[in-house]
Amino acid sequence: MANGTLTPGGRKILDAAALLFYGRGINAVGVDLIARQAGVTKKTLYDRFGSKEALVAAYLRERDQRWREWLTARVSAGGGSAYGRVLATFDGLGEWMRRENPRGCAFVNAAAELTGPAHPGRAVIEDQKRWLRGYLRELGEEAGAADPAGLADELALLHEGATVLGGLSVTENPAATARSLAVLAMERAGCT
């Protein structure tokens, strides 16, 4: 996958790895199982990705890309005011959690397993969280927040808290609760 293009075998490997890593956990899944589920040999897996660590990073990059594209399209499709677009991120989060994240945030789950700072997946996880905060900051600026960075911190914490509590089934509708708290944060920030 050096040039970024997946062969059919590479696609099968990445699809199988994504289901297994999210469903069972990264450390619980070995390359033998991934290869078997993908219907390829271990040699093919290593030829396409080089290592399990690189496969983990590829899985996380692809999931991040899907989330970014889906969320920004969902927020844009809603139109409306900048204020409404900030709240739409929480509506989108609730939908995504029901559809794609029944076990909580894949990045939070991966971060708990990938404790070594040199693991290539860590950089993907950190980039994903920075992107979300940056996106929320942009939306906060558009909504007129007096301190867009501070608001972005609050909104990102609400997003992350909702995904963690949702994955643990601690609250019934964590994204809706986070949305309600986001309204208060935006009012404090002077958003209109």
Residue 110: CB partners within 8 Å, gap ≥ 6?
Answer: 21, 26, 56, 60, 121, 125
CA atoms within 13 A on the CB side of 177: 14
Q: Give counts: helices (H), strands (E), the chain.
A: 9, 0
Q: Domain ends where: 33, 50, 67? A: 50
Q: What is the pLDDT of residues 11-63, one digit of tens each?
A: 999 999 999 999 999 999 999 999 999 999 999 999 999 999 999 999 999 99
Verify that 27 and 79 share a domain, yes or no. no
CA distance 122 to 155: 22
Query: Do the beta carbons of residue 112 and residue 171 sit within 8 Å?
Result: no
Verify that 79 and 166 share a domain, yes or no. yes
Verify that 20 and 67 share a domain, yes or no. no
The model scores a pTM over 0.85: yes
CA distance 42 to 45: 5
Query: Residue 36: its pLDDT value, please?
Result: 97
Query: Residue 4: its pLDDT value, please?
Result: 63
Verify that 14 and 99 share a domain, yes or no. no
CATH of the domain at 2: 1.10.10.60
Verify that 16 and 81 share a domain, yes or no. no
Number of domains in the chain: 2
Verify that 26 and 113 share a domain, yes or no. no
Q: What is the pLDDT of residues 132-188, one digit of tens each?
A: 999 999 999 999 999 999 999 999 999 999 999 988 888 889 999 999 999 999 999
Verify that 66 and 129 share a domain, yes or no. yes
Domain holding 5, by residue range, is 1-50
